[in-house]
Amino acid sequence: MAETQAASGALISIPALLARNARDMGDKAAYREKEFGIWQSWTWTETSEEIRALALGLLALGVAKGDYVAIIGRNRPALYWSMVAAQMCGAVPVPLYQDAVAEEMAYVLEHCGARFVIASDQEQVDKVIEIQEKVHCVEHIIYLDPRGLRKYDHTKLHALADVQAEGRAAHERMDKELDDRISAIGYDDTCVMLYTSGTTGRPKGVVLSNRNIIESAKASAEFDDLGPGEEVLAYLPMAWVGDFIFSIGQGFWTGFCVNCPEGESTMATDLREIGPTYYFAPPRVFETILTTVMIRMEDAGRFKKWLFDTFMAHARKVGPDLLDGKPVSAGDKFKYWLGNLFVYGPLKNTMGFSRVRVGYTAGEAIGPEIFDFYRSLGINLKQLYGQTEASVFITLQPDGEVRSDTVGVPGPGVEIRIDDSGEVFYRSPGVFVEYYKNPESTASTKDAEGWVATGDAGFIEEGTGHLRIIDRAKDVGKMADGRLFAPKYVENKLKFFPNILESVVFGNDRDYCTAFINIDLTAVGNWAERNNIAYASYQELAGHPKVLAAVQEHVEEVNRSVAEDEMLSGCQVHRFLVLHKELDADDGELTRTRKVRRRIIEEKFDDLIKALYDGSTSIYTETEVTYEDGRKGKITATLEIRDASVVDPGAKVAAE
């Protein structure tokens, strides 16, 4: 396709959108960042000037068309600008996860052959320098925060501000070249390359074109009526497709303002100060906020606690209906109004959700109680289902049709079909171009007609047309006696208990199911404190008999609930253990987006799984752990294995 900037003058690239925004809403805030205790802001005109200076500087450094520019760091305006500046030069930005260890980073840098790396600070620069022996493609490293880098050898190292200054100085020489490069960008040229964390194997580079990003941004912005007045808080990893769509795609399309927090530890304060109108978070974040609120309410005075409990009960009763515009009696409305005055309003303000108009959660199933809690407060929290390969959006929940057990209807322009095996396929303008340097994977995921396999098993609910996801297709299996095995279904039920952070259920080709449980240190730690249970470490707390007893109760409750589903009643957990360490992405047990990597856990904890099935009541184990700086250590523990009572569905029927 020969659609280019010059030919059509259309909005077919991010730099083109930038030019439009600078022209049409030049004085409107585009980016804000809290630094030195103050929110600093940049208008679209200023943003455009900063990005152009950086692009000119990159040209002067020798960025060529088709180069890959890696970007590593936390959400900061200058790093978002770097991505657009790279695009202006005809290069492809590749954002990386900032918490990746050097080894993971080496693979990605090598795979895309990045000539340039733009890193946020010394920590990231150190990682890139460390892997120089293995990765030879990196020619220049540009850093944002000069702290601690003064003494480094600067032959290949540049401060971002210096690069911009050089760009400004060289503008007369470079302007024409840059304009030529910008106007040469086509709609089907690569906009960004994102590495998927992948629950199995090596990460894959997903190539997304300008068409993918802009069409997806356009459609989703229309779906939720997003305009230039929205405020978002950019705090999710920049390497994740969602952040790219929200902070760049939709941000540039609608012209809304992207706010970057001061740092990870100030998130809660910054969220409250900004009060976003459009907010996205994975279920885990909502869970954590709810746990914090609940813990603090436990510590509140008796009157406050009563006030909270009374009005929350009322909110649960009528809140969701009010949000969906269903009829509610005048008395209930008045009580809700009172509740809003005393409880919901202040609570939403504390959480930073006062102004949220559209909130989304995705990535994992969210517990119905958690979901309902936020909705009953009047926060329009919805679910969506998406993938990197789809430029995020596959299905979304329209306003008024929100439920915790579905993921919504196909987004605008998205087609969905379920194949015979139950796997979900989709086709949309957002469908990725290819996996970089990996035609086999591309071919096995995307067929000639553009249908993409999600790898998830699900079905379309009759009547509503909503999609429901059961599990990862490849994780769904059969037990030894032929009954259906869907681990995710049980794991989610377990995870809905605040005490349980993570769980992994086993049972494929086995006689019965077993589980690993990870306790939630915040919730269980608080409970321990309340009950005068002393503990010195995570490991000690996780192995405490009282904790085990509490977890056992949760497991048995889940078993009762699972037994009610005839198809999945075989998935009840017969035996379980509480792990002595938290599953961690640094140890490869989770992906960077915190999804369980089943195969790796199965291999690594092989001894524990054996013990779960050989009837032993305790097991001694040694586990290798990786510290944040990449060093490795070992922890040892003796774990107790417990039996949980199960419900026999056959017996239940007979009794009735």
Partner 1 sequence: MTETSEGYTTADGRQIGGVLMEMKNITLRFGGVTAIKDISFDIREGEIRAIIGPNGAGKSSMLNVISGFYHPQEGEVWFHGSKRPAMKPYQVAQQGIARTFQNIALFEGMSVLNNVMTGRLTHMTTNMAQQAMWWGKAEREEVENREIVEKIIDFLEIQHIRKTPVSRLPYGLKKRVELARALAAEPKLLLLDEPMAGMNVEEKEDMSRFILDVNDEFGTTIALIEHDMGVVMDLSDRVVVMDYGKKIGDGTPDEVRNNQDVIDAYLGVAHD
Residues that bind partner 1 (CB under 8 A): 35-38, 147-148, 150-151, 262-263, 265-266, 269
Burial 345-376 (b: 16+ CB within 10 A, else e): eebbeebbbbebbbbbbbbbbbbeebbbbbbb
Find the shortest distance in angstroms from Cβ 260 to partner 1: 13
Q: Which is nearer to partner 1, 148 or 545 (CB)?
A: 148
Q: Which is nearer to partner 1, 265 or 532 (CB)?
A: 265
Find the shortest distance in angstroms from Cβ 39 to partner 1: 13
Distance CA 385, CA 450 (A): 19
Q: Which is nearer to partner 1, 112 or 271 (CB)?
A: 271
Element (H, E) at 320: helix 302-324
Q: Which is nearer to partner 1, 150 or 176 (CB)?
A: 150
Instruction: Give the list of residues 6+ apart from residue 52 with CB closer than 8 angstroms, or none.
Output: 85, 88, 167, 178
CB 246 within 8 A of CB 231: no
Find the shortest distance in angstroms from Cβ 272 to partner 1: 12
Q: Which is nearer to partner 1, 38 or 536 (CB)?
A: 38
Find the shortest distance in angstroms from Cβ 380 to partner 1: 29
Q: Which is nearer to partner 1, 484 or 635 (CB)?
A: 635
8-state DSSP, 256: P
Element (H, E) at 505: strand 500-506
Q: What is the CA radius of gyration of the chain?
A: 26
Amino acid at 462: E
Find the shortest distance in angstroms from Cβ 609 to partner 1: 34
Q: Which is nearer to partner 1, 2 or 38 (CB)?
A: 38
Tokens 């030894």, residue? 480
Find the shortest distance in angstroms from Cβ 201 to partner 1: 34
The CB density around residue 275, as the number of other CB atoms within 10 Å, is 17
Find the shortest distance in angstroms from Cβ 266 to partner 1: 5
Find the shortest distance in angstroms from Cβ 38 to partner 1: 8
Q: Which is nearer to partner 1, 34 or 218 (CB)?
A: 34
Element (H, E) at 358: strand 358-361
Q: Which is nearer to partner 1, 152 or 535 (CB)?
A: 152
Find the shortest distance in angstroms from Cβ 159 to partner 1: 14
Give 522-552 as a DSSP string.
HHHHHHHHHTT---SSHHHHHT-HHHHHHHH
Find the shortest distance in angstroms from Cβ 37 to partner 1: 5
Q: Which is nearer to partner 1, 171 or 272 (CB)?
A: 272
Distance CA 6, CA 185 (A): 9
Q: Which is nearer to partner 1, 38 or 448 (CB)?
A: 38
Find the shortest distance in angstroms from Cβ 123 to partner 1: 11
CB 375 within 8 A of CB 396: no
- The residues pairing with 624 across neighbouring beta strands, listed in sequence order, are 634
Q: Which is nearer to partner 1, 107 or 152 (CB)?
A: 152
CA distances from 165 to 35, 81, 484 (A): 21, 15, 63
**Nearest partner of 152 among 162, 164, 143, 139, judged by Cα:** 143
Instruction: Give the list of residues 6+ apart from residue 211 with CB closer than 8 angstroms, or none.
Output: 12, 187, 188, 429
Distance CA 260, CA 247 (A): 10
CB-facing half-sphere around the CA of 117: CA atoms within 13 A: 32
Element (H, E) at 213: helix 210-223
Amino acid at 642: R
Q: Which is nearer to partner 1, 148 or 346 (CB)?
A: 148
CB 257 within 8 A of CB 21: no
Packing angle between helix 330-339 and helix 302-324, nearest 10 degrees?
130
Element (H, E) at 624: strand 618-626
Find the shortest distance in angstroms from Cβ 261 to partner 1: 10
Tokens describing residue 178: 């840059």
Q: Which is nearer to partner 1, 269 or 537 (CB)?
A: 269
Distance CA 509, CA 27 (A): 63
Give the long-range contacts of residues 542-547, CB within 8 A, separation 24 or more. 542/578, 542/579, 542/580, 543/578, 543/580, 543/637, 543/638, 543/639, 543/640, 545/640, 547/519, 547/578
CB 354 within 8 A of CB 234: no
Q: Which is nearer to partner 1, 37 or 331 (CB)?
A: 37
CB 231 within 8 A of CB 39: no
Q: Which is nearer to partner 1, 147 or 302 (CB)?
A: 147
At 153, phi and psi to the nearest 5? -70, 120
Distance CA 238, CA 77 (A): 11
Torsional sign, CA 329, 330, 334, 340: positive
Amino acid at 634: K
Find the shortest distance in angstroms from Cβ 263 to partner 1: 6
Find the shortest distance in angstroms from Cβ 631 to partner 1: 13
Find the shortest distance in angstroms from Cβ 292 to partner 1: 15
CB-facing half-sphere around the CA of 89: CA atoms within 13 A: 30
Find the shortest distance in angstroms from Cβ 50 to partner 1: 20
Q: Which is nearer to partner 1, 620 or 627 (CB)?
A: 627
CA distances from 23 to 20, 62, 248, 363, 466 (A): 5, 29, 18, 36, 41
Find the shortest distance in angstroms from Cβ 331 to partner 1: 42
